Amino acid sequence: METPTLAKFHAPEIVFGAGSLAEAAHATVRLGGSRPMLVTDPGLVEAGWVDELRHHLVEQGLTPVVWSELTPNPKDFEVAAGHELYRAEGCDVLVGLGGGSVIDAAKGIAVLAANGGSILDYEGVDRAPLPIPPMVMVPSTSGTGADVSQFCVVTDTTRNTKITIIGRSLVPDLTVIDPRLLTTMPDDLNAATGLDALTHGIEAFVSRAHNPLTDHHALRAVAMVTGTLVHTIDDPHEMTHRTAMAQASLEAGLAFTNAILGAAHAMSHQVGGLLDQPHGVINGVLLPHVIRFNAAADPAPFAAIAAALGLDEHRGPEPEAALAVADRVERLAREVGVPRGLRELGVRERDLTRLAEGALRDACMSTNPRAATHEQMVALFRAAL
């Protein structure tokens, strides 16, 4: 793979380790906060993490406003509602405690706090011109990478699709990664977010925008997820594996926010917007098919992934190594309970043309290593049915 002569690497300040949750409160003070908005969801409230973080915030002399009116795959109207509360309460710093949906919603609120309008106005790259409020993120899942990324994904409920907002300002000021929070994830969410991290690592490594600064993180993430994810489902409270998955998610996030992604995400955004299904589960279904599609044009980068995974096929012809990677990903998806095809998630043959059109317009397609025609995209979706 050719590498660009100029490489950029965006990253927030990162605090990592069990028991680090209190650092989110210290960071909020450092960023000038007095009335932070704590964005979260009902599951995190029930698990007790919101009370723990609110205690730390109050201990630092802050007056937090908690907002948890969120559903998975944040909707445009939910972001609007959060922004209304942010303005009404005079908030100043966004603190996101949760998975990718919570963090994306917090980013969306920050965009609106500075720029106004509708969140749908900002689809695309660098469409939000004004500086947004400071952001502190605390991920509670191990996969989305939203806590370190320059991406914000929101569901357009009128068109039933997901829009992607990209911008350097969306990289949080600080992310606090406390692996303890991963122990309260349900198994299905654990599996979905883990497969999302795997997809981030693979797509970032083969991306047209990859560079030497992203490759190392991407390969490490792929190997760590593949070797660890099943263990976290079998033994949810074992902290060694939880910490490894937290690191894998982080490294995958650092890779993809700088190298961007590819066809699996472009396709997944369409299915997720249509059916409101878990993003990582859709990725788990699509990724093996996308690997085979991309490897047909250039198997070399997938042979490097095969080597990182310790697959015997990496010693053989590159096309065989690439197919072995696809098979290994497919096996992992089966092991953690992902459906065999999109049909099980509710996709029908009559949806394929529309899904293909949306995927080809998605920003992630611009960095997929192989271009696709509309017919090829329909065929790819059909293969994944």
| pLDDT per residue as tens digits for the range 300-330 | 999 999 999 999 999 999 999 999 999 999 9
State the CATH number of the domain containing residue 242.
Answer: 1.20.1090.10
Let me know whether 152 and 272 are in one domain.
no
Residue 294 counted as domain residue: yes
| Single residue among 181, 198, 229 that ends a domain in this structure | 181
Question: Which residues form the domain of 138?
Answer: 13-181
Let me know whether 203 and 279 are in one domain.
yes
Residue 208 counted as domain residue: yes
Please give the single-letter amino acid code of residue 30.
Answer: R
Let me know whether 208 and 279 are in one domain.
yes
Let me know whether 161 and 191 are in one domain.
no
Let me know whether 195 and 164 are in one domain.
no
Q: Binning pLDDT at 50, 70 and 90, where does residue 8 land? A: confident
Residue 7 counted as domain residue: no
| pLDDT per residue as tens digits for the range 67-107 | 999 999 999 999 999 999 999 999 999 999 999 999 999 99
Q: Binning pLDDT at 50, 70 and 90, where does residue 5 land? A: low
Residue 5 counted as domain residue: no
| pLDDT per residue as tens digits for the range 176-198 | 999 999 999 999 999 999 999 99
State the CATH number of the domain containing residue 143.
Answer: 3.40.50.1970
**Alpha helices by DSSP H, the chain:** 23-30, 42-47, 49-59, 76-88, 100-115, 187-206, 212-234, 239-259, 263-275, 279-295, 300-308, 318-335, 352-361, 374-383
pLDDT at residue number 2 = 54
Let me know whether 134 and 189 are in one domain.
no
Region 119-143: mean pLDDT is 96
Residue 4 counted as domain residue: no
| Single residue among 125, 147, 181 that ends a domain in this structure | 181
Let me know whether 219 and 113 are in one domain.
no
Let me know whether 107 and 215 are in one domain.
no
- Mean residue pLDDT of the chain comes to 96
Token representation of residue 306: 């095969």
Residue 273 counted as domain residue: yes
Residue 365 counted as domain residue: yes
Q: What percent of the chain has pLDDT over 90?
A: 96
DSSP string of 193-213, one letter each residue: HHHHHHHHHHHHHHSTT--HH
pLDDT at residue number 175 = 98
Let me know whether 161 and 193 are in one domain.
no
Let me know whether 168 and 213 are in one domain.
no
Number of domains in the chain: 2
Rg (CA), the chain: 20
Q: Of the candidates 251, 189, 243, 191, which has an alpha carbon nearest to the alpha carbon of residue 218?
A: 251
Q: Name the burial class of residue 130, with classes exposed (0-12), middle (13-18) and buried (19+) by CB atoms within 10 angstroms of its CB.
A: exposed
| Single residue among 165, 181, 197 that ends a domain in this structure | 181
Please give the single-letter amino acid code of residue 144.
Answer: T
Let me know whether 193 and 284 are in one domain.
yes
Let me know whether 172 and 225 are in one domain.
no
pLDDT at residue number 6 = 82
Q: Find all residues with CB under 8 Å of 130, minimum gap 6, and list them.
A: 114, 115
